[in-house]
Every structure is written in structure tokens, then in C-alpha cells.
Structure 1
Amino acid sequence: MRRLFALPAALLLLFLSAAPALAVEASEAPGAHPLAPGTPFPDVSLTGEVSPQAAAYLGVTAGKRATPINAVKAEVLVVEIFSMYCPFCQREAPNVNALHSLIDKRGLGNRIKIVGIGAGNSEAEVNLFRQKYAVPFPLFSDADFDVHNQVGQVGTPFFYILKKKPQGGFVVLQASLGAFGAPADFLGAIIRAAGL
């Protein structure tokens, strides 16, 4: 009888010890319904003033308050849905910065771009996150959760890998919740998925 109890108890212990490992990767969203690979990505508005540096990086007009994401000049676009209040996003910020640097070092800066969208964050909050973590790529505010709702009410950090369609607009190649691991491995996965 003792042995029969030991097996379920061991399985329960294994499950409980695995659960925190999943929880440390991301803030989950109970109603999340991520966009599936192959799905067209909605032409969401990137809101906030676009600095001259961000405009040059994205190939869009500087100073605009709302830039359609489809206007971004990139073969591949990595979209990070984050929140400045998400401890997992804060922890992942150096890895995303390293990914950006690695893209440039490998000569892919004209083909692969990164943007961050702060779910529920005001422009001031997004700017605070940008400054605190020295984020080198453009971040945009989504104070009213408008973009967040359109892209599946996902947890944070959430990464969409998008590819520009020949006729315009982006399609989802990959979607993932949580930390992506080693930046070099993630970049390799992006390159393979996009056929670059």
C-alpha cells in the first residue's frame, strides 16, 4: 500500500516542482488566444512619437503619433509584447537587447527589425522602461490595450516573429510566450523560419 501511495505522491511532487519553472518564464494571461503561424498579423498602430532614430531604423516617417505596423520596412519583424511591470520582461530585457546587437553584428540589420509594444503602458511608462534597460530598438505604448486585444491578449513577454508578404502586410511565422533563451539560438530559429 505504501508503494502505491509513493508513486502518485512522487508524480504530484514532480508536477508541483515543474509548475514554478513555467511560472518564472512569463506572466500568463488567462484569456490568451495567440495568433497562429500562417495568420496575417493585424495592421495595428504603433502609437507614440517616432524619434528620428526610430524612424530611420523602421523606415517610417518621424514624429507621427500613430504608425501602421505594415509601414515598417523589414523582411522580418520581431514584435515583443511586454509590460514595464512584468518582472519576466525586465529579466528578459538584456537578452532582447543582445538579440538586437547580434542582428546588427551578423549584417542582418536591414532585414530583421525589432519593436516592443507595452501592453497597458503609457508613453511615460514605456520611456521609463526604455531608459532603465537601455533598450536600443523602438518601443511603443499600448495604454488602452488596443493592440494587445488585437494580437490575442497574450501574456508577457510574448514574441511574434513576422514575415513581410510580397503583397504587403505581415504574416505570423512563430509565436512564443516567455523567455527565448540564448539570443544566438533564437536568432538562428528566426533565420530558419524566415528562410533568410
Structure 2
Amino acid sequence: MARSGNEDSRGTVTVPDTSTPLSSRIQAGTCLRQEKGHSSQQRFLECRYVAALGWPCLSGTRGVQTPDARNSYHFLASGQQALPMDSQGNFWTGAWTGANVFSSGNLKLDLLHNFFLECGARASKIRVYETVDDPTARACVGFLLVRGGVHIVAYAKALEKLSGVDVGKLLPIPDISNKRFPEAAKHEARGLHRIL
């Protein structure tokens, strides 16, 4: 059987050219082209290598290289699809107050807790907005400010109905109007702040 220049005496395909970093060849698109001295089998293997390194969302996590950095249960239970659990494999429960689910058994307290969390999230969004200059990031935060504001108002109105306290007088928390953020103002102009 005739051998190509890319096979050794046992007929084993040699490793593709490593003098040029793979990332450079990927950027140049040469991993998918016929390169001088590369057999089609080598190109196929190199493209599989690129897929395994470049697209882990398609090929899954690589537990062989990092056996201690995986969540085996996540793979076994769901094939790495979304599960209601944290990064350590702990399912969301209400077992610990303040964890993922808060349920005190008292509707007013639960609504007040969620109101508090939404206000804290709004403060964090404002901080993120102030620290970024990227227009896409600011547009995203502007939208989130408006949508999160809807949740704040919904909790405030529910608390008002249950308690008679005018919680709306507290708003906005922090005391900064969405009108100060041009990216949020355009969503309010479309009425997104009034749709639950």
C-alpha cells in the first residue's frame, strides 16, 4: 500500500503542523483548507480537535483533562442540560433562609423580602451602568432597570393592598429616576415599565 508523506512506517497519521499555533491557524481558517503535506485524515482530526477545544458547548465538558472540575451528576442526570441547581450541584431548596427560595409562611414578609431583593438588584444594575462605557452593556442594563422596576412596583402594590402602607412613597430605591439613563428612558417611552 502506498503511503502519503504524512504517514510513518506503521501507517499512523502524524500530528498536524505544530510550528504555527492552532489558534492562529483557526483565525486564518487554514485548519479547514488543504495545507501542503496534510492528508484529508489529518485535516479531519485537526478539525475535530478544533471542535473539541473551540466549541465546548457542542462537545460538552472535558472531564478527562479536568476530572476534579466537573459535576458528574449534572452529566448523568440531564446530559448537561439546565437543572435547578447551583454550580456545586446543590439543588435549589428553601432549606436555608436566604438561599435560593425564601418562604417564611407569611405573605407580607415574603413580599417584603422580594421587594428588598429587587431594590438591591436595581442598585447593583445602576453600579454596573456607571462602571461600563460599552453601548451594548449600557443598553442591556437600561432594559433591565425598566423590567426590574416593574417587579419593584408590583411588590410595592401588593404590599400596599395587604398592609395599607403607601410603599410607593419609598420609590425609586435608590433615589435615582430611570429618566437619568437614556437607555432606560427609551423603554419607558414604549411603555415597558407598565407591563408586568
Q: Which of the five TM-score ranges fits, normalised by the shorter chain?
A: under 0.3
TM-score (norm: length of structure 1) = 0.25
TM-score, structure 2 length as denominator? Answer: 0.25
More strand by share: 1
Q: Which has the higher helix share?
A: 2
Largest Rg, 1 or 2:
2
Larger relative contact order (Cα-Cα within 8 Å, sequence gap ≥ 6): 1
